[in-house]
Amino acid sequence: MKDAVQRLQQIAPTVARHVRSRDGTSVAYYVVGSGPRVWVIPPGLGTPPSAWRRVFKRFKDEFTMVTWDLRGTFRSGVPTDLGRLAIEDHADDLAAIVRAEGLERYILGGWSLAVQTSLEHYHRHPEQVDALVLLNGTYEHVLRTALHPGLEPLLLTAVRGLAWAGGRFGGLISRGVQLGPAVMPRLGLLATSTPLFGEVLRDFAGLDWGVYFRIALAVNAHSAAAYLPEVRVPTLITAGDADRMTPVVTAEAMHQRIPGSQLVIFPGGTHYTQTEFPEAMNEALAAFFATLPPA
C-alpha cells in the first residue's frame, strides 16, 4: 500500500499516519488536501484510498479530507480479538483519528459501509458533525436487502462459508475478484468498468479474505434505524437506481426518516456510482457543499 500513498500524493498533498484505537488496534489513516474545511471520510468495506482519487482531486483545495484503512484491511492492523470488527469498533477508530488530529467540527460521511459508521458516530457525537454525506449505503442489516429481499439467510450462510474459505483459499478468491470488470456488468452489478474501478479492484484483490468476510458478518448485525430521526444537520443521501447491493429503497427510507435530508438518485448507477460516474458524483457533492454555511 506504500504505492497507494504515492499515487495519492501525485494528485493532492497526502500524509499517512497511524493511531491506536481504543482496543489497541493500529489504524492507518491519511490526511489529503489542504482546504479550510474538514471532511472525515470513513472507508467502505475493503475500500482502498484509491477509490476516492477523483473526489480528492476535485476537492483538494476546498477541504482537508481524512480517511483510513478499515481495521483488518490494507495497512491497518487486524484486531487481536476477531470479535472486534463491528460497526461500533469502526466508530471507535473514527473517534481515535479525530482525537489524534485535534478535530472539533467536520463534515462526516462516505460510501457504502461508511454510511453505518457515520450514523453510529453521529449518534455518539452529534456536537462534532456539521453535515452528513451518506453515499450509496444502507442504515442497517446490509444482507437483508442485498440482491433480492428474502435472501438474507442464504447470503449469511454463503458469507460464513467464505469467511472460513478465505483463510485457506485466499489466492483463488483474489483471482476471482480480478475478473470483476469483465463479469460484474454481465451480472448487473456494475454499469460500466472504468480505469478507476480497475485500479480500486487491483488494490481490493489483495485483502485477507477471511477477515473481510468476518467484517461483513459483523456489519450485517448493525442497525442505525433508531438514530435516523435524531439527525439534525444537513444530510445528503445518494443512490444508484440499479444498485443491487444497497437498493434505492434503502436510500428512500433514510430520506423519509432524516428530517430535511436531500436525496440524489443516479440513473443507471449501481453500488459503485463514484467509480462509474465520478463527475456526476462530484457535482452532487459540490452542489450539497454549496448549501452549507461557511466554515
114-150 per-position pLDDT tens digit = 999 999 999 999 999 999 999 999 999 988 888 777 8
Question: Nine-digit cell at 150?
Answer: 428474502
Q: Label residue 169 by pLDDT band (50, 70, 90).
A: low
Higher pLDDT pick, 13 / 165: 13
pLDDT tens per residue, range 74-84: 999 999 999 99
CA–CA distances in Å: residue 259 to residues 236, 254, 255, 263, 266? 11, 9, 8, 12, 22
Most confident range, picked from 7-11, 255-259, 272-276:
255-259
pLDDT tens per residue, range 24-49: 999 999 999 999 999 999 999 988 99
**For position 203, what pLDDT does the model report?**
82
Residues 6+ apart with CB under 8 A from 271: 112, 136, 189, 240, 243, 244, 245, 246
Residue 21 carries which side chain, given as an amino acid letter?
A: S
* Mean pLDDT (the chain, rounded): 91
> What does the alpha-carbon distance between residue 215 and residue 147 come to, in Å, rounded to a whole number?
19
Q: Label residue 1 by pLDDT band (50, 70, 90).
A: low
Res 179 pLDDT > 70: no
Domains and CATH numbers, the chain: 2-290 (3.40.50.1820)
